[in-house]
């Protein structure tokens, strides 16, 4: 079946630094990637949608200069949290879809900003 | 846009009992309804899905029903086991052929199965 690998699973960073999260589709070509944010005991909130080779489409209220999304290849998308602050601490999850494939989720990244 | 409401927020059952989780959606254009199981600290895993041209789908102990007219769909788990304990999310989206649009998730249901 389709597999999406997300790294790192956990990261702690200092306030003001940037953190990059990677999402790779291992056995299919991901034409579209979705990035979600999830607060404790809450649902998944879509942050942005990216199609390979195009700029990401951000949901209302999501700062595109703070959450940089790159989808330069059919197997890799990255989310960079720039100038991270404690309020950016959250669980970030990617989801990939490809031709003939539904949504496959990564295992998530727990970001803690101290 | 789409709005998905999920109930109940918590559900506690005894092992062997059945569990039912219900969702409603607002956008009549939605035609794809997956259910996900999420364990603590992990990403969601698809457990079953249904498209709008089908009223019911079953996979062993898990079944999903869809009422397009009423815009609601339900997850049914029979013969529950302690390992079924997790958070369950419903979602709705628009899928055309092999193309899938974005999903809107429900609020989640914490299912606890007591031995």
pLDDT tens-digit map of A4-37: 999 999 999 999 999 999 999 998 888 899 999 9
Phi, psi of A95 (to 5 degrees): -140, 135
Q: What is the pLDDT of residue B100?
A: 62
Determine which of A95-99, B44-48, B111-115 has the lowest per-residue pLDDT on average. Answer: A95-99
- One-character DSSP codes across A44-94: EEEEEEEETTSPPEEPTT--TTTEEEEEEETTEEEEEE-S--GGG-EEEEE
pLDDT tops 60 at residue B99: no
List the single residue in B49, B89, B102 with the smallest CB-CB distance to A49. B102
List the single residue in B43, B100, B106 with the smallest CB-CB distance to A93. B43
pLDDT in tens, A58-94: 999 999 999 999 988 889 999 999 999 999 999 999 9
Q: Is B102 on the interface with A (CB under 8 A)?
A: yes
Q: What is the pLDDT of residue A7?
A: 97
């Amino acid at each position: 079946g389709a597999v999406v690998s997300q790294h790192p699973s956990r990261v702690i960073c200092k306030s003001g630094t940037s953190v990059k999260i990677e999402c790779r589709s291992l056995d299919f070509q991901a034409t579209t990637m979705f990035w979600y944010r999830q607060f404790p005991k809450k649902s998944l909130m879509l942050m942005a949608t990216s199609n390979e080779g195009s700029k990401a489409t951000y949901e209302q209220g999501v700062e595109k200069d703070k959450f940089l999304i790159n989808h330069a290849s059919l197997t890799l998308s990255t989310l960079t949290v720039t100038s991270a602050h404690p309020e950016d601490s959250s669980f970030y999850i990617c989801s990939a879809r490809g031709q003939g494939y539904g949504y496959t989720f990564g295992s998530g990244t727990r970001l803690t900003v101290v | 846009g789409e709005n998905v409401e999920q109930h109940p927020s918590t559900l506690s059952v005894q092992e062997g009992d059945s569990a039912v989780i219900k969702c409603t959606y607002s956008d009549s254009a939605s035609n794809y309804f997956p259910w996900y199981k999420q364990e603590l600290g992990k990403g969601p895993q698809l457990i079953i899905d249904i498209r709008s041209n089908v009223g019911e789908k079953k996979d062993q102990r898990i079944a999903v029903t869809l009422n397009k007219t009423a815009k609601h769909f339900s997850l049914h788990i029979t013969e529950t086991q302690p390992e079924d304990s997790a958070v369950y999310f419903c979602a709705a989206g628009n899928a055309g052929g092999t193309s899938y649009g974005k999903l809107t998730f429900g609020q989640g249901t914490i299912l606890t199965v007591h031995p």
